[in-house]
Structure 1
Amino acid sequence: MAGTGFSQWFWNERFWLPHNTTWADLRNTDEASFPQASDLVMIFPYSIVLYIIRIFIERLFARPLGRKLNISDVPNRPPSSNVVLEKVFKTITKNPQGERLQGLCKQLDWSERQVQRWFRRKRDIDRPSKLVKFSETVWRFIFYVGVFLCGVALFYGTNCPWKTEICWQGYPEKQMLTPLKYWYYHMELAFYTSCIVSQFFDVKRKDFWPMCLHHFATICLIAFSYCINMLNVGGLIMALHDLSDIFLEGSKLMKYSKYESLGTLGLVLFGVSFSLVRLVYFPFWVLYSVYFDAWRIVGAFPSWYFFCMCLSVLQILHIYWFSFIVKGVMTLWRSGGKVDDERSESECSASDEETTVLQHKIEGHGDASSSNGMTLRKHKQT
């Protein structure tokens, strides 16, 4: 009884649906299919299948390709044995600075560069090879291209992307669930569900826990739009976010393959697509339609207010992330720097190069955001 009471309270039609609409209006019939909350149970088996597909792509395609491109699979070399530095590393800090760094130099009669190099190598012992990171990036690139093409197919032959008010015509009981919409939504949901689990086995990022939170929020918001049949506007949002992710992952692939010019071009295209899609199209077409077209055509209801709030927060984040892109591109322009995946690698390699690191996180995918971090490095000769 308690479970039934909670279910009735949680799925209250006054919150979820427009006025004069009930869940009975969205029940499946022989003539029409609609999104059902029970469909979301399939996320879990789909995510397992998607993860298996990822393993096959990485091992049977990405790794052999990486080897042909001469991408290094050599693990990082450990530093020389040193009792003093080992103790500092384990009990005090993994990156000494200031007076502590100078004190270690005097104690060991080493230069600052030698001490810093030792700590860099120590931090890098457990970091994966470039081939492992290349394989992960290949998988993400293939997935983003695939779901973006699925999104294009979803709106092909319609004017929804340009006349966004069409997304609300007949909402919700006259907008049917097609097989393409079903698979598009479930592919996105399965991807982020698998990401939550795979993060514990993938390359460890500096933003590990924020990414877990982000993936969970993304799943919740995409599932939210599915449950209330906002598939048209939800699909449009996911497709436009997938576009810039393609350029981001593509630029990483070029970087790992040592095609620096193409990597730089990919980063520039990412910045351009990000600004056009998320700072122009998203607010002036999508958000405008959600705020005004939905109000005029459908009318206001509580879950619509919630949806508006979430998308407004997303747009604020777009502006915030764009500031990092501008700084990164300016740094790249001034220094002719190289593009690195800063979340995968710390400020280090075992070389004698000094690096200037600028981290920027670019997020936004689906009805929530997805996170990617890139670093622009300026290499100096010492």
Structure 2
Amino acid sequence: MASSFLTWFWNERFWLPHNTTWADLRNTEDAVFAQATDLWIMFPYSIVLYGIRILIERLIARPIGRKLQISDVPNRPPAPNAVLEKVFYSITKYPDGERLEGLCKQLDWREHQVLRWFRRKREIDRPSKLMKFSETVWRFMFYVTVFIYGLYTTFQTDCPTNTRSCWEGYPDRQHLKPLNYWYYQTELAFYTSCTISQFFDIKRKDFWIMFAHHIATIFLIMFSYSINMLNVGMLIMLLHDFSDVFLETSKIAKYTKQETFATIGLISFATSFVLARIVYFPFWILYSIWFDAFDVVGPFPSWYIFCVWLAILQFLHIYWCTFIVKGFIRLFKKGGQADDERSESEVSDSEEDVDVTRARTESQGDGPGINGVTLRKAHK
């Protein structure tokens, strides 16, 4: 039964170009090819990567963060309020419109006070700045390392400058090298661990979009490896790691309050993202897959699937580009202070200074007391 299913699933007419069989891709003494059975290593390897992440965060990132005096204090809850808590748990965590106006009238609060209460309520379980800094340091170190490795590996071929060469000799005259093998396995293990750890890491606005991206990425990596489509696969992975390096650099600068470097990092990220994923990816890589592969290799069923998934990936790029545009709008509105538009949990310093103060504010009479609680304004 299992043998029949595998025979049906790995149908040569679906997976491989015409006049090519799996026998042509068997390993010999003179040639080694990518095999689908190699992919099992992603499971233990992803565990190893996750272990490395924990060590880097605890032994490197957190000590550095403490020396830089990055706060490890968890988010403080808002003052108890029966009316708002009922709305929060039963109706919505994001009040707006008539409901927001009604709450303001009912409590005699200003709009920003109600919104601030709901924001603090949502952020009770959010990690501290030091924890977020540690996670960012891990991603930065990974992206830098794997990008340098991928850059060296990819430039062993002519594909970056001549994408048509990705298809010359495909599939049976493109051999698997140790550099290619470990580049693929590292990327695959990383995204596998990210897909699982995403449910425990910092939650962002684009959580499900990122989840879909991880699934699509894992599928594309496994797909291209299984049919020996290594050259174009490595090129795609390299492009994605390129812009991520600048994004994590900007975040590290933001956490350490180096606003100038954070802004430079954000601009570098935006520029590299647009050049790599909005320009080079569709007009060179997708063009090569859709036209050069069609001309050099010829169409085959799995190739169509590959084209569709890459088109979906490009739509995700466009979606994220809208966040970059929003980030630049916020950048100019804030007078040049960088921020990650995707992050729902990263609050600016001025917002974090807003706190609930009881005896002090009541005795000073800073504002209207509600349920024995007074909100003071943020320091500018």
Q: Residue 80 of structure 2 corresponds to which residue in structure 1? A: 81
* Aligned mates of 2:207, 2:327 — CA distance in 1: 22
Q: Residues 258-288 of structure 1: CA distance to partner in whole angstroms, max 9, x if unpaired?
A: 1111111111111111121222222232222
Q: Aligned partner of 2:324: which letter?
A: I
- Asked if the contact 1:16–1:228 (Cα under 8 Å) also holds between the matched residues in 2, the reply is yes
Q: Residue 362 of structure 2 corresponds to which residue in structure 1? A: none
Q: Residue 225 of structure 1 corresponds to which residue in structure 2? A: 224
Q: Residues 288-328 of structure 1: CA distance to partner in whole angstroms, max 9, x if unpaired?
A: 22222222222221112222222233334433433442343
- Asked if the contact 2:216–2:313 (Cα under 8 Å) also holds between the matched residues in 1, the reply is no
TM-score for the superposition, normalised by structure 1: 0.86
* Aligned mates of 1:245, 1:22 — CA distance in 2: 38
Unpaired stretches in structure 1, ≥5 consecutive residues:
354-379
Q: Residues 124-153 of structure 1: CA distance to partner in whole angstroms, max 9, x if unpaired?
A: 211111111111111111111111111111
Q: Residues 226-253 of structure 1: CA distance to partner in whole angstroms, max 9, x if unpaired?
A: 0000100100111011101111111111
- Asked if the contact 1:120–1:350 (Cα under 8 Å) also holds between the matched residues in 2, the reply is no
Q: Aligned partner of 2:44: which letter?
A: P
Q: Aligned partner of 1:109: which letter?
A: D
* Alpha-carbon spacing, 1:308–1:115, altered in 2? closer, same or farther (3 Å): closer
- Asked if the contact 1:203–1:344 (Cα under 8 Å) also holds between the matched residues in 2, the reply is no
Unpaired stretches in structure 2, ≥5 consecutive residues:
356-377
**Deviation of 1:346 (Å):** 6.8
* Aligned mates of 1:251, 1:259 — CA distance in 2: 9
The answer as to 2:286 corresponding to 1:287 is yes
Q: Secondary structure at the match of 2:176?
A: coil
* Aligned mates of 1:214, 1:176 — CA distance in 2: 29
- Asked if the contact 1:17–1:228 (Cα under 8 Å) also holds between the matched residues in 2, the reply is yes
Q: Residues 92-140 of structure 1: CA distance to partner in whole angstroms, max 9, x if unpaired?
A: 2223333333433343333333333322222221111111111111111
TM-score for the superposition, normalised by structure 2: 0.87
Aligned-residue Cα RMSD (Å) equals 2.2
Q: Percent same amino acid among aligned pairs?
A: 65
Q: Secondary structure at the match of 2:200?
A: coil
The answer as to 2:343 corresponding to 1:343 is yes
Moved more, 134-143 or 300-309: 300-309
* Alpha-carbon spacing, 1:46–1:245, altered in 2? closer, same or farther (3 Å): same
- Asked if the contact 2:16–2:302 (Cα under 8 Å) also holds between the matched residues in 1, the reply is yes
Q: Aligned partner of 2:135: which letter?
A: E
* Aligned mates of 2:2, 2:156 — CA distance in 1: 45
* Alpha-carbon spacing, 1:351–1:81, altered in 2? closer, same or farther (3 Å): same
Q: Residues 63-101 of structure 1: CA distance to partner in whole angstroms, max 9, x if unpaired?
A: 111111111111112222223322232222223333333
Bigger Cα Rg: 2
* Alpha-carbon spacing, 1:125–1:331, altered in 2? closer, same or farther (3 Å): closer
Q: Aligned partner of 1:193: which letter?
A: T
Q: Secondary structure at the match of 2:338?
A: strand
Moved more, 150-159 or 126-135: 150-159
Q: Residue 213 of structure 2 corresponds to which residue in structure 1? A: 214
Q: Residues 195-242 of structure 1: CA distance to partner in whole angstroms, max 9, x if unpaired?
A: 122122212233333333321221111100000001001001110111
- Asked if the contact 2:203–2:345 (Cα under 8 Å) also holds between the matched residues in 1, the reply is no
* Alpha-carbon spacing, 1:20–1:67, altered in 2? closer, same or farther (3 Å): same
* Aligned mates of 1:111, 1:155 — CA distance in 2: 57
Moved more, 230-239 or 164-173: 164-173
The answer as to 2:25 corresponding to 1:26 is yes
Q: Residue 178 of structure 2 corresponds to which residue in structure 1? A: 179
The answer as to 2:122 corresponding to 1:123 is yes
Q: Aligned partner of 1:246: which letter?
A: V
Moved more, 81-90 or 11-20: 81-90
- Asked if the contact 2:195–2:214 (Cα under 8 Å) also holds between the matched residues in 1, the reply is yes
Q: Aligned partner of 2:22: which letter?
A: W
Moved more, 52-61 or 278-287: 278-287
Q: How does 1:147-226 map to 2 (within 5 A)?
A: 147-226=146-225
* Alpha-carbon spacing, 1:288–1:204, altered in 2? closer, same or farther (3 Å): closer
* Alpha-carbon spacing, 1:281–1:84, altered in 2? closer, same or farther (3 Å): closer
* Aligned mates of 2:132, 2:164 — CA distance in 1: 42
Q: Secondary structure at the match of 1:339?
A: coil
